[in-house]
């Protein structure tokens, strides 16, 4: 059974594993393909604990940790946020778990945090992610040419958003 719970200190080694997985980091992060290590992620966690505008959650299949989902740059003033998600364990992708986690975090953002708009950025050739976001009602607000560079190539980048119809 899929469970989503707050990200904990003991999850740090899994973050390192997932963010170093090339199937994940080719699509995620400020600079695609970037590697991380335990020291950097411990530092990241210490900073995360001090911030109020980020919410990170770990996605679990019963007791097995499989990925993360969350919201950053949560703005109470603008009632918006940026969403991110990764299924870090290769064998758990394409099984409907990303969709479950996305629905959960959208509900959290709209109904618990009372936000109006959830934004996300996605590399245009990340077909699985783009299809997933469209299937949930995200619309394309921006289509940026040659926005990211990785593996000797430039890639287009989409800015997508979903709106809370109740606010």
Integer Cα distance of 36 and 29 in angstroms:
11
148 binds ligand COA (CB under 6 A): no
Integer Cα distance of 57 and 55 in angstroms:
7
CB of 129 to ligand COA, least distance (A): 4
Beta bridge partners of 153: 150
Per-residue binding letters, 11-30, with ligand COA (x by CB under 6 A): ------------xx--xx--
Stretch in the footprint of ligand COA (CB under 6 A) among 6-14, 58-66, 70-78, 130-138: 130-138
Question: Which one of 8, 46, 107, 127 is in contact with ligand COA (CB under 6 A)?
Answer: 127
C-beta of 38 vs 127, nearer to ligand COA: 127
User: Binders of ligand COA among 82-101, rule CB under 6 A?
Assistant: 85-87, 93-99
Q: Where are the alpha helices (DSSP H) in the chain?
A: 12-19, 22-25, 38-50, 97-107, 127-135
Tokens of 108: 């959290």
C-alpha distances in Å from residue 81, one per residue of 22, 72, 119, 157: 26, 6, 6, 18
6 binds ligand COA (CB under 6 A): no
137 binds ligand COA (CB under 6 A): no
């Amino acid at each position: 059974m899929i469970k989503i719970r707050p990200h904990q200190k003991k999850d740090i080694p899994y973050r390192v594993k997932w963010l170093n997985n090339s199937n994940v980091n080719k699509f995620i992060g400020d600079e695609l393909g970037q590697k991380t290590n335990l020291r950097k992620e411990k530092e990241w966690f210490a900073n995360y604990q001090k911030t109020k505008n980020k919410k990170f959650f770990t996605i679990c299949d019963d007791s097995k940790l499989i990925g993360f989902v969350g919201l950053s740059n949560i703005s109470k003033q603008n009632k918006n946020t940026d969403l991110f998600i990764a299924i870090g364990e290769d064998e758990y992708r394409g099984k409907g778990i990303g969709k479950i986690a996305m629905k959960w975090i959208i509900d959290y953002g709209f109904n618990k945090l009372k936000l109006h708009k959830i934004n996300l950025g996605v590399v245009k050739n990340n077909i699985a992610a783009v299809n997933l976001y469209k299937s949930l009602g995200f619309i394309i607000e921006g289509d940026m040419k040659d926005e990211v560079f990785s593996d000797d190539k430039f890639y287009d980048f989409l800015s997508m958003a979903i709106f809370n119809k109740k606010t």
